[in-house]
Amino acid sequence: MTYFEFLNEHGITLLLGTVTTVKVLVCSMILYVIISMIFGLMRLSKNVLIQGLATAYIEFFRGTSLLVQLFWAYYVLPFFGISLEAFTAGVVALGLNFGAYGAEIVRAGILAVPKGQWEAAHALNFSAAKRIKRIIIPQIFPIILPPAANLTVELLKATALVALVTVVDLTFEAKQINSITWLSAQCFGTALLIYYVIARFALVPFLRWLEVLAARKVGKERI
């Protein structure tokens, strides 16, 4: 069977899997961005309880393996009466795991905002909430976007793991086709190529565009 015949027969299945992969990616991306913002701010709180909570969360999710968390969410949570659908379990586990890494990026970004900005906001008598919302947060984006872009490419790669909790994504389809046809080079090679194309020609340019946009917003034309 030539490669063209292989694509003709299984291309549609792989494409459908790719759609699921992109869905998982987008959902978990939104979730992880929200979580990292919240926990990054909590990590800097002066309240010991809030800060301790955020630290415990971050250490826990960074200390254990993503695969373990995924399996825990899918196979163990039903023991406690919480049955998540495979897709939901996958997105939640990915979001929580990457949120922990993202929170550290957000924290570092906030700390990297020059001290003068805090002092100026103080001097202008801004309330604490307004200071964070209007002065500090808008300035962290050019700082956090480059490391966040790396993390997001890692997230795309990590979405492959949801196949192991029966989400029918690209990896799942590739495995499935492999077990039917035993054309391993073709299925896994194609899957690798699709992931590569998504990362190289869609995700990375999009994140680069965001970086340029964020830099322009704070008045830096060149980054």
Partner 1 sequence: MEMGWRWDFTIEILPQMAIATLNTILAAGVGYAIALIVGLIFLLGQRTPSKIINWINREIVEFIRSTPLLIQLFFVYFVLPQFGITLSAWVCGMITIGLHFGTYLSEVYRGALEGVSKTQWEACRALNFSTLYTYRRIVLPQAFPIAIPGMGNYLVGIFKDTPLLSTIGVAELFHAATAVGGYNYRYLEPYTLVGVIFLTLSIPAAMWVRKLENDVNKAQGKIKK
User: Under the criterion CB under 8 A, does residue 66 sit at the interface with partner 1?
Assistant: yes
Q: Which x/- pattern, by CB under 8 A, does the window 179-218 give for partner 1? A: -----xx--xx-xx--xx--xx---x--------------
Q: Is the dihedral of CA 164, 166, 170, 172 positive or negative?
A: positive
The answer to whether residues 148 and 105 touch, using CB atoms and an 8 Å cutoff, is yes
DSSP assignment of 144-190? HHHHHHHHHHHHHHHGGGGGGGT--SHHHHHHHHHHHH--HHHHHHH
The answer to whether residues 66 and 94 touch, using CB atoms and an 8 Å cutoff, is yes
Judged by CB under 8 A, which stretch of 30-38, 48-56, 60-68, 127-135 contacts partner 1?
60-68
User: Under the criterion CB under 8 A, does residue 168 sit at the interface with partner 1?
Assistant: no
Q: Which x/- pattern, by CB under 8 A, does the window 119-148 give for partner 1? A: ------------------------------
Judged by CB under 8 A, which stretch of 38-46, 75-83, 124-132, 135-143 contacts partner 1?
75-83
Work out the burial of residue 193: count CB atoms within 10 Å of its CB; fewer than 13 is exposed, 13-18 middle, 19 or more buried.
exposed
Which C-beta is closer to partner 1: that of 4 or that of 79? Answer: 79
| Cα separations in angstroms, 71 against 61, 66, 84, 161 | 14, 9, 11, 10
Q: Which of 1, 45, 52, 59 binds partner 1 (CB under 8 A)?
A: 59
Which C-beta is closer to partner 1: that of 41 or that of 198? Answer: 198
DSSP H helices, 44-114, are 48-63, 66-71, 86-112
Which C-beta is closer to partner 1: that of 75 or that of 209? Answer: 75
The answer to whether residues 210 and 142 touch, using CB atoms and an 8 Å cutoff, is no
Which C-beta is closer to partner 1: that of 2 or that of 47? Answer: 2
Applying CB under 8 A, the residues found at the interface with partner 1 are 59-60, 62-69, 71-72, 75-76, 79, 153, 156-161, 163-164, 171, 174-175, 178, 184-185, 188-189, 191-192, 195-196, 199-200, 204
